[in-house]
Amino acid sequence: MRYLAIFSLTIVVFLTSCSTSKRQYLNNYEELMDEVAQNHQSFDHDEWNNANEEFKILVEEYYPEYEEEMTDEEKVRFWTQAFTFQVLQHKERVFEEFEENEEVYVQLMEENARFIDEISDQVIEDVLPELERVLPELNEIGKEFVQRLEEKGTLDKMKRSLEDFGERMEEISKQLEEDSSEKRTSREY
Strand, coil or helix: what is 187?
helix
Q: What is the pLDDT of residue 18?
A: 44
* pLDDT tens figures, 24-49: 999 999 999 999 988 888 888 889 88
Give yes or no for a contact between 131 and 80, defined as CB atoms under 8 angstroms apart: yes
Ranges of each domain in the chain:
1-70, 88-189
Which helix (H) or strand (E) segment holds residue 143: the answer is helix 121-152
Q: What is the pLDDT of residue 97?
A: 74
pTM to 2 decimals? Answer: 0.47
Cβ neighbours, 10 Å, residue 16: 8
Q: What is the pLDDT of residue 102?
A: 77
Q: Which of 162, 176, 177, 156 is nearest to 116 (CA)?
A: 162
Report residue 123's pLDDT band, with 50, 70 and 90 as the boundaries.
low
State how far the alpha carbon of 109 is from the alpha carbons of 66, 80, 112, 113, 161, in Å: 36, 21, 5, 6, 9
Please give the span between the terminal C-alpha atoms of the chain, in angstroms, as a whole number: 80
